[in-house]
Structure 1
Amino acid sequence: MLARRSYSKVTAETPSTEEIERLLEAAATAADHAGLAPWRVIELRGAARERLGDALAAAATAAGADADAAASQRRKPLRAELLLAVVVSYRESRKAERWEQDAAAAGVAHLLTLLLDDAGWGAMWRTGPFTRTAPVAQLHGLTVDEALLGWIYVGGRPDGARRERHATVDLAQRHTQLRIAGED
């Protein structure tokens, strides 16, 4: 995990649907309060990526973007041959609030990126200002009880891609202990 990195550029090589399913089986072990499995993953390949580009461009245009900005949105899904849309599918629950279901779905997405990296694939979880717009939701066939968390762009690792470790975090700033007065 310490060596994992995001690949903003990937080659056209992609894992098969069967490989994705094997990795999803492992990713599904993410923490999930109440065992709701409040998520699903949608593969986008080929023309589906072009339709996503059209939906992003439509959302950008509806938000007042000019033609150049809309065209830029249209090209974004073409950066990889495989996109995995990660969807949170909210379930009715007295135990797990919506934010916990968001966390469970995000946990699956994060584990999936780790598993893809471990399997030798380049991956990058991407979002953007139009991730949760009507044209994008419609393209993905989302229900009123679902929301898109973004896409994992997947492909081969380019020759010569850097594999250096992420910058380390200052643990003194990120890790503390709650101390109660009078307790040792």
Structure 2
Amino acid sequence: MLARRSSSKVTDVAPGHADVASFVEAAGQLADHSGLRPWRVIEIRGDARDILGAALAKADGAHGKDAEKFRAKAHRAPLVLAVVASFKPSHKVPHWEQEAVASGVAHGLSLLLDDEGWGVFWRSGELTRTAPVRAAHGLGKHEELLGWLYVGGLPDRGKKERPKGRIRVSEHLSSL
């Protein structure tokens, strides 16, 4: 985990469906109060990325060249994984905890993809939970989109990566 880095620029190669399925299976093995599995992942590849771009443009009210910018954003990687919190009825497990589980799956996926040598970065933003974006992803009444993992090959950077900045543990760890 100390070596993990977000890769905002990736190449046009991506893991296949079988690889993604194995990553999703592994990421789903996390702490999950009552075993609700309140999440799902949507693979977005090829021309389906145009649907994402159009939904983002519509949510923003963009037209013409401005709308094309959203299409280009959806094509930043050959594979986009939409991570969805899919809330389950429970008197024991509140929505915030179910969303935390879905977030854990997204982070686990990003770690697995990184560990397997794929470039990955997580995107979200103000348009994530808009009606056009919800509709494009086919979200149900009890679902919320958390964001997207953009996945592709790692470009040959030709130089050594600079180490990621470390946190100051004393600012984040205390004792009671």
**Structure 1 stretches (4+) deviating beyond 6 angstroms?**
none
Residue 42 of structure 1 pairs with residue 39 of structure 2: no
- How far apart, in 2, do the equivalents of 1:41 and 1:97 lie? 21
Residue in 2 aligned with 1:171? 169
Residue in 1 aligned with 2:29? 29
- How far apart, in 2, do the equivalents of 1:133 and 1:80 lie? 22
Q: Which amino acid is the alignment partner of residue 169 of structure 1?
A: I
Matches within 5 A, 1:68-107: 69-107=66-104
Deviation for aligned residue 1:163? 3.4
Residue 154 of structure 1 pairs with residue 151 of structure 2: yes
Residue in 1 aligned with 2:129? 132
Q: For each residue in 1:106-164, what CA deviation from the matched residue of structure 2 results, as whole angstroms up to 9, or x when unmatched?
A: 00000000000011100001112111111111011000100000000000000017533
Deviation for aligned residue 1:167? 0.6
- How far apart, in 1, do the equivalents of 2:83 and 2:25 lie? 14
Q: Percent identity?
A: 52
- How far apart, in 1, do the equivalents of 2:164 and 2:65 lie? 34
For structure 2, which runs of at least 5 residues remain unmatched after alignment? Answer: none
- Which has the larger displacement, 84-93 or 69-78? 69-78
Deviation for aligned residue 1:38? 0.3
- With normalisation by structure 2, the TM-score equals 0.94
Verify the 8 A CA contact 1:60 1:69 in the aligned structure 2.
no
Q: Which amino acid is the alignment partner of residue 165 of structure 1?
A: P
Verify the 8 A CA contact 1:40 1:87 in the aligned structure 2.
yes
- How far apart, in 2, do the equivalents of 1:29 and 1:85 lie? 18
> What CA RMSD, in Å, does the superposition of the two structures yield over aligned residues?
1.4
Q: Judging changes above 3 Å, is the alpha-carbon distance between structure 1 residues 90 and 72 closer, same or farther for their aligned structure 2 residues?
A: same
Q: Which amino acid is the alignment partner of residue 108 of structure 1?
A: V
Deviation for aligned residue 1:71? 3.5
Residue 21 of structure 1 aligns to a residue in which SS? helix
Residue 75 of structure 2 aligns to a residue in which SS? helix
Residue 101 of structure 1 aligns to a residue in which SS? helix
Residue in 2 aligned with 1:114? 111
- How far apart, in 2, do the equivalents of 1:176 and 1:164 lie? 29
- How far apart, in 2, do the equivalents of 1:55 and 1:90 lie? 23
Q: Which amino acid is the alignment partner of residue 159 of structure 1?
A: D
Residue in 2 aligned with 1:181? none
Q: Which amino acid is the alignment partner of residue 82 of structure 1?
A: L
Q: Judging changes above 3 Å, is the alpha-carbon distance between structure 1 residues 151 and 55 closer, same or farther for their aligned structure 2 residues?
A: same
